[in-house]
Structure 1
Amino acid sequence: MRILLDECAPRPLKREFADYDIRTVVEMGWSGKKNGELLQLMRQEGFTVLLTTDQNLRYQQNLVQAGVAVVVLVATSNKLSDLLPLVPDTRDALNTITLGEVIEVGGS
């Protein structure tokens, strides 16, 4: 499983998933790419999961057709301190997610 950390999420969040094959949008040189193009690049580079805080992505893109899965982190902000409590549930989601699926973590 290759994971891409979206640029709307803080880059230090990557450290919490160091045991996964994870890269950031910035590391890949894909900053500023629109979602459709980003999903296409992900597929071309073998990424299977997008880790994001963008709650609208599922309504803007056909994720089944894109061939990737999405984990959406839902917190009061996209600050690292608000996202860190979601890490255990995010890890659980990563263990069960399938291509084309969207799992929201948090927000309850």
Structure 2
Amino acid sequence: MRILFDQGTPVPLRRSLTGHVVATAYELGWSTVTNGDLIRLAEQEGYELLLTTDTNLRYQQNLQGRSIAILVLTTTSWPRIRQVTGEIQAAVAAITAGDYQELPIP
């Protein structure tokens, strides 16, 4: 699966997503692109999943009819995210095109 990390997603998480192609908005030169445009660009470029930490995304964007899946992590804290990488891997494996899911991270 082609996965795009937005600005808030900790890059070390990439190591836990073996078997997937992971890029970051920063690496692609998209670090200043707003969420709506980022989703559109990601879809155009063939990304299947946007992994984000923006918990307000579903309130700010119309996500109806999108082909890209969106997985929201509820924190940007790498130490906290590192503790649940297994749950993140399972969520990534289960998500389907157009889905929106939030993964609460304690």
Aligned residue in 1 for 2:44: 44
Tell me what 2:88 maps to: 90
TM-score under structure 1 length normalisation: 0.87
Between 60-69 and 95-104, report the one with greater CA deviation: 60-69
Partner Cα separation in structure 2 for residue 15 and residue 107 of structure 1: 18
Q: Aligned AA for 2:39?
A: L
Q: Secondary structure at the match of 1:51?
A: strand
| Alignment deviations for residues 9-59 of structure 1 (CA, whole Å, 9 cap, x no partner) | 122222222331111111111111001110111011100101111111112
TM-score by length of 2: 0.89
What is the number of residues matched between the two proteins? 106
Distance 1:79 1:97 in 2: 22
Residues 74-104 of structure 1: CA deviation (Å, up to 9, x unaligned)? 23xx121111122111111111111221112
Whether the 8 Å CA contact 1:4–1:22 is kept in 2: the answer is yes
Structure 2 spans left out of the alignment, 5+ residues = none
After superposition, the CA RMSD in angstroms is: 1.5
One-letter amino acid of the structure 2 residue matched with residue 106 of structure 1: P
Question: Which position in structure 2 is the counterpart of 1:66?
Answer: 66
Partner Cα separation in structure 2 for residue 9 and residue 71 of structure 1: 11
Provide structure 1 residue ranges, at least 5 long, that are not aligned to the other structure. Answer: none
Q: Which runs of 4+ in 1 moved over 6 A?
A: none
Q: Which residue in the other structure is 2:97 paired with?
A: 99
Q: Structure 1 residue 12 and structure 2 residue 12: aligned?
A: yes
What secondary structure, in the 3-state scheme, does the structure 2 residue paired with 1:27 have?
A: coil
| Corresponding letter in the other structure for 2:13 | L
Q: After superposing the two structures, state which structure 1 stretch, 54-63 or 22-31, moved more.
A: 54-63
What percent of counterpart residues are identical?
Answer: 40
